[in-house]
Amino acid sequence: METINRDLQAVFDWIDGHREAAIRDLQRLVQQPSVSAQGIGLEECADLVATLMETAGLPCQVEQTPGGPPCIFGHLRSGRSTKTLLLYSHYDVQPVEPLDLWSHPPYGGVVAGGRLWGRGASDNKSGVLAFIVAAAAWRETVGEPPVSLKFIIEGEEEIGSIHLGPLIAARPELVRADAMHCLDGGVDPSAMVPDIDLGLKSVLFVELVARGAKSDIHSLNAPLVPQPAWDLVRALNTLVDSDRRILMKIGTKTCGNLVRRRMRSLPRMLRALI
């Protein structure tokens, strides 16, 4: 534990000593538009993220999602452990309209009142840069990280990562890891520290379609004709049980198992790191 504390102090000191450079890099990221919903600036922002990673000494590669924006993958190997931690974040942002509600230009990256203002300054360009700097700080001071680190920094989180799936399905080794940490979170405004949510789960959309008669029919035919409303009620009741446990099946695994497996990833990640 003493060694870990000493290592961490060296890392923190390096970060403090490079604070101004990190702020300038965050300004560069914020000043680069990258609106996935409007297809603005995504290639340029992906190139900038890759440049920042390479400058920080983090090996990375830019991969094109089929029909979507580029995605950056990084891999910082460690011989100290066989475990790998995957760090997820995104470089795209929400649209900036309406412009008249901004107190500072959305792509200005202005530092005022002790804060950096601009679209994506929090969600999620600060997350992207914070972990690039943290990984670089560890590498510069301690050397190899305690576990291997993989990065995935995608460009369409704000519209549901619609083109990411096929790339990951074709190249699973890019994200294969023992645990994952999502860098996409908010900041506690009172303490001004990043939130870390435990047990973060993803979203699964399900569309249920029930069909019945094509035209109005008399109720006396009810026993004979399918009734879509009741079919949907019964179908909804098969999605979760009375304790809200997920009952749906994906292949041979239930969604609940997938959710539990993801929830286990954080303790595994922490155990691997200590």
Please say which residue, 32 or 78, places its beta carbon nearer to Zn ion. 32
Shortest distance (Å) from residue 34 CB to Zn ion: 12
Shortest distance (Å) from residue 134 CB to Zn ion: 18
Shortest distance (Å) from residue 193 CB to Zn ion: 17
Shortest distance (Å) from residue 123 CB to Zn ion: 4
Please say which residue, 93 or 137, places its beta carbon nearer to Zn ion. 93
What CA–CA distance (Å, rounded) separates 121 from 108? 10
Shortest distance (Å) from residue 5 CB to Zn ion: 32
Shortest distance (Å) from residue 219 CB to Zn ion: 50
- Number of residues this chain uses to bind Zn ion (CB under 5 A): 3
What CA–CA distance (Å, rounded) separates 81 from 74? 18
Q: Indicate the helix (H) or strand (E) that contains 2.
A: helix 2-17
Q: Indicate the helix (H) or strand (E) that contains 75.
A: strand 70-76
Cα 124–Cα 191–Cα 156 angle in degrees, nearest 5: 10
Helices first, then strands: H and E counts in the chain: 7, 11
Please say which residue, 25 or 154, places its beta carbon nearer to Zn ion. 154
Shortest distance (Å) from residue 64 CB to Zn ion: 21
What CA–CA distance (Å, rounded) separates 274 from 271? 5
Does position 32 interact with Zn ion (CB under 5 A)? The reply is no
Please say which residue, 137 or 180, places its beta carbon nearer to Zn ion. 180
Residue corresponding to tokens 């029919």: 217
Please say which residue, 178 or 184, places its beta carbon nearer to Zn ion. 184
Binding mask 174-203 for Zn ion (x = CB under 5 A): ----------x-------------------
Please say which residue, 36 or 124, places its beta carbon nearer to Zn ion. 124
> Closest Cα partner for 128 from 45, 215, 245, 37?
45
Please say which residue, 123 or 154, places its beta carbon nearer to Zn ion. 123
Q: In whole angstroms, what separates CA 54 from the centre of its chain?
A: 21
Per CB under 5 A, contacts with Zn ion among 91-150 are 123-124
What CA–CA distance (Å, rounded) separates 30 from 45? 9
> Closest Cα partner for 108 from 32, 43, 40, 42?
32
Q: Is 251 left (phi over 0), alpha (psi -120 to 50) or beta?
A: left
Shortest distance (Å) from residue 2 CB to Zn ion: 37
Please say which residue, 200 or 239, places its beta carbon nearer to Zn ion. 200
Q: Tell me how crowded residue 90 is: count the other CB atoms within 10 A of its CB.
A: 28
As a whole number of Å, the end-to-end CA separation of the chain is 8
Per CB under 5 A, contacts with Zn ion among 5-24 are none
| Binding positions for Zn ion, rule: CB under 5 A | 123-124, 184
